[in-house]
């Protein structure tokens, strides 16, 4: 029997060739939001390496939504063609191309991780004033401006406009980034949302902005293309979001046309997180149980056998691989070998040729067949 990891997954009319997906990872390497050769090589390498879905990094829907001044964006039509070039390369290697639409809110305008500087980037150095549901800063960062209700509605429009551009760039899958303490998560969590209007207070009110974004993006995004939402299932601190809160939000998103929840955790406040292999899998499983939506699990999915065990026993539908895929772009090809899958899988086609009509592509590029293990 084909290992779970290598079974295709169809959401709406779109099929991923397997359930090993590249996690979104900022490259902090854009200028004015434009992606370039770095992003093409980085993402296409992971498509050549066998991932079924190659998710792009957090891509800002407005310039002020960037985590750092070096983040990618889709806030103007000029961003479309450079992304389209990346998308063609990813699809040419048989993977689905995913875009992660994002706004960093109070965690915007920071230095990239390898900069020696910490804290917020000064406006004089290319930074900007940040926004949030309430004027409550993230630890060590500047105090954000509270968004008005009409600012929030403009932000909903910005997510939808970016989704239209993502479609024009040819992306197969869109994901709304509502995790890791960024703007949508800041609204969801009572730790960062102290509003007294329709966007604050009750859990239902705090989720209103996310529901509006999902509704608007679903409307702007073609029917046959899946819409994913990344959620932080728990804030990992007393008084913060719990997995039960998140599962209830996900159940509402199911009714609005979300197709899969990409379950992560944390990031909104400093917390002790019990990190270890597969540590977020039980959270993802619980979200799936309550919402009825398919889920992906992320977080220290390290190798093929472990990923297979997560899919077999963990009650999740796909895994996302982050840092392990930075170490090894061919993580999936190696996993196929580790799981005893004969190579090649599927009919090999030269890179640059599209996979099956249903979106699933062959695993091994013909050019690399001499490199198969065993």
Ligand X SMILES: Cc1cc2nc3c(=O)[nH]c(=O)nc-3n(C[C@H](O)[C@H](O)[C@H](O)COP(=O)(O)O)c2cc1C
Shorter beta-carbon distance to ligand X: residue 259 or 349:
259
> How far apart are alpha carbons 154 and 158 in whole angstroms?
6
Q: Which of residues 243-272 bind ligand X (CB under 6 A)?
A: 264
Shorter beta-carbon distance to ligand X: residue 40 or 178:
178
CA 312 to the chain's CA centroid: 23
Q: Does 25 bind ligand X (CB under 6 A)?
A: yes
Q: Considering the complex, what minimum distance in angstroms separates the CB of residue 44 from ligand X? A: 18
Stretch that binds ligand X, among 177-185, 288-296, 305-313, 360-368 (CB under 6 A): 177-185
Which positions from 34 to 63 touch ligand X by CB under 6 A, shown as an x/- string?
-----------------------xx-----
Strands (E), 171-213: 173-178
Dihedral of the CA atoms 178, 179, 180, 185 (nearest 10)? 60
Shorter beta-carbon distance to ligand X: residue 323 or 354:
323
Q: Note whether 280 and 265 are within 8 A (CB).
A: yes
Shorter beta-carbon distance to ligand X: residue 295 or 349:
295
Q: Does 324 bind ligand X (CB under 6 A)?
A: yes
Question: Which residues, listed in sequence order, are joined to residue 173 by a DSSP beta bridge?
Answer: 98
> How far apart are alpha carbons 302 and 297 in whole angstroms?
12
Which positions from 194 to 233 touch ligand X by CB under 6 A, shown as an x/- string?
------------------------------------x---
Q: Which of residues 291-320 bind ligand X (CB under 6 A)?
A: 298-301
Beta strands at 227-232 and 14-16: parallel, antiparallel or unpaired: unpaired
Q: Is the backbone peptide bond immediately before 344 cis, with ω within 30 degrees of 0?
A: yes
Which residue is closest to ligand X by CB?
Answer: 322
Of the candidate residues 4, 6, 20, 24, the single one contacting ligand X (CB under 6 A): 24
Q: Note whether 183 and 105 are within 8 A (CB).
A: yes
Of the candidate residues 106, 165, 177, 285, the single one contacting ligand X (CB under 6 A): 177
Shorter beta-carbon distance to ligand X: residue 163 or 349:
163
Q: Is 28 an annotated catalytic residue?
A: no
Nearest residue to 204 (alpha-carbon basis) of 188, 180, 182:
188
Stretch that binds ligand X, among 8-16, 18-26, 307-315, 334-342 (CB under 6 A): 18-26
Shorter beta-carbon distance to ligand X: residue 110 or 195:
110
Q: Give the burial class of 84: count Cβ atoms within 10 A of its Cβ; 0-12 exposed, 13-18 middle, 19 or more buried.
A: middle
Q: End-to-end distance of the chain based on CA atoms, in angstroms?
A: 19
316's tokens: 């999740």
> How far apart are alpha carbons 264 and 297 in whole angstroms?
7
Just list the catalytic residues.
182
Contact residues for ligand X, defined by CB under 6 A? 23-26, 57-58, 100, 177, 179-180, 230, 264, 298-301, 321-324
């Amino acid at each position: 029997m084909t290992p779970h990891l290598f079974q295709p997954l169809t959401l709406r009319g779109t099929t991923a060739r397997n359930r090993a997906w590249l996690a979104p990872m900022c490259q902090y390497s854009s200028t004015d939001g434009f992606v370039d050769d770095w992003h093409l090589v980085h993402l296409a390498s992971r498509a050549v390496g066998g991932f079924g879905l190659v998710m792009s990094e957090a891509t800002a829907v407005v310039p002020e939504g960037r985590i750092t001044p070096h983040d990618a964006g889709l806030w103007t039509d000029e961003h479309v063609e450079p992304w389209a070039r990346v998308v063609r390369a990813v699809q040419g290697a048989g993977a689905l191309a995913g875009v992660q639409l994002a706004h960093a809110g109070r965690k915007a305008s920071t230095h990239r991780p390898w900069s020696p500087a910490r804290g917020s980037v000064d406006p004089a150095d290319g930074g900007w004033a940040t926004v949030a549901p309430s004027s409550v800063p993230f630890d060590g960062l500047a105090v954000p401006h509270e968004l008005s209700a009409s600012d929030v509605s403009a932000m909903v429009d910005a997510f939808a406009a970016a989704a239209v551009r993502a479609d024009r760039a040819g992306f197969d899958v869109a994901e709304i980034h509502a995790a890791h303490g960024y703007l949508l998560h800041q609204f969801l969590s009572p730790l960062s949302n102290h509003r007294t209007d329709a966007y604050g207070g009750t859990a239902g009110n705090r989720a209103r902005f996310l529901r509006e974004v999902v509704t608007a993006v679903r409307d702007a995004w073609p029917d046959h293309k899946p819409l994913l939402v990344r959620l932080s299932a728990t804030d990992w601190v007393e008084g913060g979001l719990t997995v039960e809160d998140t599962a209830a939000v996900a159940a509402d998103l199911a009714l609005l046309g979300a197709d899969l929840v990409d379950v992560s955790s944390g990031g909104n406040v400093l917390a002790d997180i019990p990190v270890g292999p597969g540590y977020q899998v039980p959270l993802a499983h619980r979200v799936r149980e309550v919402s009825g939506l398919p889920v992906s699990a992320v977080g220290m999915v390290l190798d093929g056998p472990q990923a297979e065990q997560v899919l077999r026993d963990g009650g999740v539908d796909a895994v996302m691989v982050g840092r392990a895929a930075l170490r090894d772009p061919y993580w999936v090809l190696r996993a196929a070998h580790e799981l005893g899958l004969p190579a090649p899988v599927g009919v090999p086609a030269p890179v640059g040729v599209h996979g099956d009509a249903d979106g699933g592509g062959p695993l091994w590029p013909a050019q690399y067949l001499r490199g198969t293990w065993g």
